Amino acid sequence: MPTWNSRFKKPLNENALQFSSSIEIDGKLYKEDITGSIAHVKMLVKQKIVSLAEGKKIIKALESIQKEISSGKLKSNWRNEDIHSFIEEELTKRIGETGKKLHTARSRNDQVALDERLYIRKEILTLKKSIVGLQKSLLKIAIKHKGTIIPGYTHLQRAQPIIFAHHLLAYIWMFERDIDRLNDCMKRANKSPLGAAALSGTTLPIDRNFTAKLLGMNGIVENSLDAVSSRDVVVELISICSVIMMNLSRLSEELVLWSSQEFSFAQFDDSFATGSSLMPQKKNPDIAELVRGKTGRVYGALIGILTVMKSLPLAYNRDMQEDKFHLIESVNTTNECLQISIGLLNHTKFNKERFEKELDGNLLLSTELVDYLVRKKIPFREAHNIVGKIVAIAVSKQKKLNEITLEDYKKTSPKFEKDLYNYLTAKSSINNRLSEGSTSYKEVEKQIKFWTQKLA
C-alpha cells in the first residue's frame, strides 16, 4: 500500500496503480537508492534527529535488503509503486516503527534526483572505460597499418591518398572528445540534491554538505527548487551518448562499406558475421549494421527526455518519472554498442595490399600537380584550372595521370617538367605532406607514439 494514501478514502484503482508503477525501471537503481539512504541516516544520527541505536538498526537492515535484492532472494512486482517505497516498506516490515524514521527530512523528489546522479556518476565511469577499450583496439590496428595506404574520401568519392592508421586515429581523437564531454558532465552530475526535500527544504536541522561528503560528491545543488525539478544532467548524459553513438555509427558504416566486394578491404571473422537464410554465399556485416541501427534508440531517448522536460513548471511533476527509461536505455545501448564494437574490430582483418598500386597515377593525385605548379610560382586558382584540363585529358583518353605524356602536360603549362612524375605515386603524396597533423608517415608516427603513451 502506498505510504501517501492516508488522506484518501479509496485505494488507487488497480489499472491506475499498474499504469503509474515505475519499479520495473527505477528498480534498477536499488543500489543507488540504498547508498543514498544509508548516507541520509548517518546524517540524521550526526544531527541527533534519530538515535545512534536507531541509525545502526536501519543501516544494518538496509544492507541486508540490498544483498537480498542483488542475490534475487528479494523481488518486487508492479504493485510496488517504485523502488523507494518498496525498500522503505520492506525496511518497516523488518524493524517495525524504527523503519518509518528513514524518510525523515526527505522526499521522494530529492531522493530520486540523488539516485539518478549516483547512477550517472557510476555509468560515466563505465562508459569512459569502454571508450578507452575501443581506442586501444583502434590503436592496435593503426600500429599494424601505419604503412597501409588507402584512398581518403570526400562525398564518398576518392579524394587523396592517406595512411589507414591516420584514418583510425581520427576516430581515436573523436572518442577522446567524448571522454572530455563525460568528464565535463561529471562535474555537474556529482552534486547532491538530497535535503531539498519536496521542493522548499526542511525545517529540521539537517546537514546537506555532510551527506554530500559521505557520498563523495563535490557539494550540493544550491537551490532546492532546482535540485528536484531539473534533469539537465540526465539530458546532458543522453546527449553525450548520442554523440558517442553517432561516432560509432560512422565507424560501423565504414566497416560495412569496406567489407563489401566492391571495397574488398575489411574481412570480418566468421564469429562476428552472419549468413543468409536463402543465399548460401552471403557473409553479412550484421553486427556493424546493428550498431548503426541502435543509434536510433539513443537519438530517440534524447528527443524523449527533451520532450518530457520542455513544458514542465517548477518543481517536480510526475512526467519526470519517464526520465529514467530514457536515461537507462541510452546508457545501456551505448555501452553495449561500445563493447561489441571492440569485439568486432578485434576480429576484423584489413587488406594491406588492396589500394596502393591502384592509386599510383590515379586522378586522386591531381592536387599534387596543383601544388607542383604553386611551387613554381603559379597562382593557386590558375594552377587549379590548368590541372583541371589535365584531368579532362586523362578522362577522355582513359589514362592515369602518370600515363599522360610530358608533351600533353606542356600543352597546358610550360612549367611542367619531367620531375612531375615523381609526385604521381601514393607514397610520394603521403611523404610530401608537411603540415602538422597530416597523413604523412612522420606525423602519423608522432600521433601513434602519443596515443601509445596515453593509453598505456
Render each residue's pLDDT in the chain as its tens digit; 456 residues. 556 566 667 777 777 777 777 778 888 999 999 999 999 999 999 999 999 999 999 999 999 999 999 999 999 876 677 888 899 999 999 999 999 999 999 999 999 999 999 999 999 999 999 999 999 999 999 999 999 999 999 999 999 999 999 999 999 999 999 999 999 999 999 999 999 999 999 999 999 999 999 999 999 999 999 999 999 999 999 999 999 999 999 999 999 999 999 999 999 999 998 888 888 888 999 999 999 999 999 999 999 999 999 999 999 999 899 999 999 999 999 999 999 999 999 999 999 999 989 999 999 999 999 999 999 999 999 999 999 999 999 999 999 999 999 999 999 999 999 999 999 999 999 999 989 999 999 999 999 999 999 999
Q: Going by DSSP bridges, is the β-strand pair 348-350/149-154 parallel, antiparallel, or unpaired? A: unpaired
Which grid coordinates are listed for 162? 592517406
The span from the CA of 91 to the CA of 69, in Å, is 13
Confirm if 268 and 361 have CB atoms less than 8 A apart: no
Q: What is the pLDDT of residue 6?
A: 66
Confirm if 33 and 27 have CB atoms less than 8 A apart: no
Which grid coordinates are listed for 337? 554498442
The span from the CA of 373 to the CA of 392, in Å, is 17
Smallest CA-to-CA distance from 109 within 317, 294, 307, 284 is with 317
> For the structural domain made of 5-104, what CATH number should be given?
1.10.275.10
Active site residues: 155, 276
- CATH entry, 115-151+161-197+219-354, from 1.20.200.10, 3.30.110.30, 1.10.357.10, 3.30.420.40: 1.20.200.10
Per domain, the residue ranges of the chain are: 5-104, 115-151+161-197+219-354, 357-454
**Which stretches of 59-211 are assigned E, i.e. beta strand?**
149-154, 157-163
Q: What is the average pLDDT score of the chain?
A: 94
Which grid coordinates are listed for 273? 558475421
Smallest CA-to-CA distance from 33 within 95, 100, 103 is with 103
Query: Quick one: 357-454 is in which CATH superfamily?
Result: Fumarase/aspartase (C-terminal domain) (1.10.40.30)
Q: What is the pLDDT of residue 4?
A: 53
**Which region, left, alpha or beta, applies to residue 216 given φ > 0 means left and ψ of -120 to 50 means alpha?**
left
Does the global pTM surpass 0.75?
yes
Phi, psi of 356 (to 5 degrees): -55, -55
The span from the CA of 244 to the CA of 177, in Å, is 9
Confirm if 290 and 205 have CB atoms less than 8 A apart: no
